[in-house]
Amino acid sequence: MILAMTEQPSNKPSKVQVIEINEDQDGQRLDNWLLRQIHGAPKSLIYRIIRKGEVRVNKGRKKANYKLSAGDQVRIPPVRIEAESGKKTLPKSLLDEVKASVLLDNQHCLVINKPVGLAVHGGSGLHFGVIDVVKALYPDLEYLELAHRLDRETSGCLILAKNRKALIFLHEQIKAGTVVKKYLAGLAGNWQGGKKTISAPLKKNSMHGGERMVEVDEDGKTAISHFRPIQNYKNLTLVDVEIETGRTHQIRVHAAHAGHPVAGDKKYGEREYNKWVREQGLKRMFLHAYWLEFMLPGSDELVQVTTPLPGALQNVLNTLEQ
């Protein structure tokens, strides 16, 4: 018998459930699938019930990295989820902001203009992320996954896939480098020399003062960014940045490597400069994903989505121009 999943609002143990994997779930890892099915479950619980054999796929044991196939029957044991104390509800103002930020909505994907300060995922002290907000706005969506990511302090175009087919199709394009991703960035100082391509490999998880950083390192992964200056302002340059690769913090590290860190970047920027630009009205990192080009399954048309520079960043440019 196939039973539908229900969220457990309290710490009462759920009942045994058997769920059949559908086509949209085909290819997902068992552990990741379970995290989505057992709402609020910590990863430690997921791995424990898999390791102990309480989770069965087609009546047999499977490891956490097992790739599910359409038609698989997955048994989920009764679990007890302790109620989280002090868990915040989603602010209505945030829900309204994200709802108004939808740039594209079709059968395959959503593209939103992600607000600055909103993480793509909850965790690490955050109670919610983009996925949680969009699921609250679209409760009838059975499938929703991020096609790529943006830093918490970066605003702009973000794609969310509505089905597995679209997600795989988008990932294939990203891997092939055919998804065009462009950003507007305010860089410290006055950029000299016109257009410049920075091809510097990046290695993440280096530790500096207890903080994880990304660094230019010859042993790192290939990373290519194309910088095109648009206009010089007082001690700041507005640049257009197109990235061929999507490494963690790529633009921020490449900009700092070029001697012009992103204005307001607390991790890779310059403290004194950030203090000065804050006095000019900058209250965030000056980085905005303004342009995306990609294809969708079953169509030969190129999808182009764009969103202008946020008013708060434009106001900083106006101040510096004056």
CA–CA gap between residue 298 and residue 294 (Å, rounded)? 13
Catalytic residue among 151, 219, 265, 300: 151
**Exposure class string for 151-186: b at 16+ Cβ within 10 A, else e:** bbbbbbbbbbbbbbbbbebbeebbeeeebebbbbbb
Specify which residues 17 forms β-bridges with: 76
Q: Is 72 labeled as catalytic in the residue annotation?
A: no
What residues contact 88, with CB distance under 8 A and at least 6 apart? 127, 128
Helix (H) / strand (E) containing 94: helix 92-100
The amino acid occupying position 161 is A
d(CA 41, CA 8): 10
Put residue 285 in one of left, alpha, beta given phi > 0 → left and psi -120 to 50 → alpha: beta
Phi and psi torsions of 207, nearest 5°:
-100, 130
- Which residue, among 190, 191, 189, 212, has the nearest Cα to 202 in the 3D structure? 212
C-alpha closest to that of 177 among 116, 143, 223: 223
Residues forming the active site: 151
